[in-house]
Chains A and B, each alone.
Chain A
Amino acid sequence: MTLQLTHFSAAFVFALFASIVFGITHRDTARDMVRYGLYCFVMFLGGAIVAGWAMWLLRR
């Protein structure tokens, strides 16, 4: 069985799970963990989208 993820869904899954681990391990209180996890998620996924558009512009 081969799982076929699109580039975006692979980036989404990666950002989601990496952010959960970062949130838990890098902050002390539950509230801070959630906030930092969300921040990492937005940065991961936002960074991928921005980099994608930057490459699209460079290609033109």
Chain B
Amino acid sequence: MVNSTAGKTKAEEAQASMMAVIAPAVGWLIPGAGHMIQKRWIRGVLLLVSIGTLFVLGLLMQGHIYKANGGDILDILGFIGDVGAGGMYIVTLARDWGQGAIAFAIADYGTKFMIVAGLLNFIAVADAYHIAIGKKQ
């Protein structure tokens, strides 16, 4: 009985440590998914809708997406922000969307929307990790 309880605890610990790796990774790829695989359905859906909508609106506003670069510091920071959007960033690059010049104010807003969506997803990923390690419910 004692062995069985100890075994179960070890199994649970192993599952928790695995979740601490999987949840952030999945959450980065699909915003909110890190919460959903931990059964925080409402939070996950709200994160997906919020971050996804900001990113898509940014694209529709003709925002510019940054690629990996070693040039201007603002371009590097833009890339770091954009890459936080995970799967959406990968799809956008693959489809060659968001490559136009920032020609008017709304396009600049769109660029910022996509960067902020990525940065918000970084926060969501950290939150998913905190849930996985039991620091947050």
| A interface residues (Cβ-Cβ under 8 A, vs B) | 1-5, 7, 10, 13-14, 16-18, 20-22, 24-25, 28
Cβ-defined contact, B62 with A21, below 8 A: no
Which B residues touch A2, using CB under 8 A? 60-62, 106
Size of B's binding interface in residues, CB under 8 A: 24
Which B residues touch A3, using CB under 8 A? 57, 60-61, 106, 110
Q: How many contacts between A and B, using CB within 8 angstroms?
A: 58
Q: Does B137 sit within 8 A of A, measured CB to CB?
A: yes
Give the interface SS of chain B, mostly helix, strand, loop or mixed: helix
Cβ-defined contact, B137 with A25, below 8 A: no
Which B residues touch A4, using CB under 8 A? 61, 106
| B interface residues (Cβ-Cβ under 8 A, vs A) | 43, 46-47, 50-51, 53-54, 57, 60-62, 105-106, 109-110, 113, 116, 120, 123-124, 126-127, 136-137
Our pick among B47, B61, B109, B110 for the contact of A24 (Cβ within 8 Å) is B47
Which A residues touch B123, using CB under 8 A? 21-22, 25
Cβ-defined contact, A17 with B60, below 8 A: no
Q: How far is the CB of A60 from chain B (nearest CB, A)?
A: 22
Cβ-defined contact, B54 with A17, below 8 A: yes
Cβ-defined contact, A24 with B116, below 8 A: no
Looking at A2, A4, A25, which has the most chain B CB atoms within 10 Å of its CB?
A25
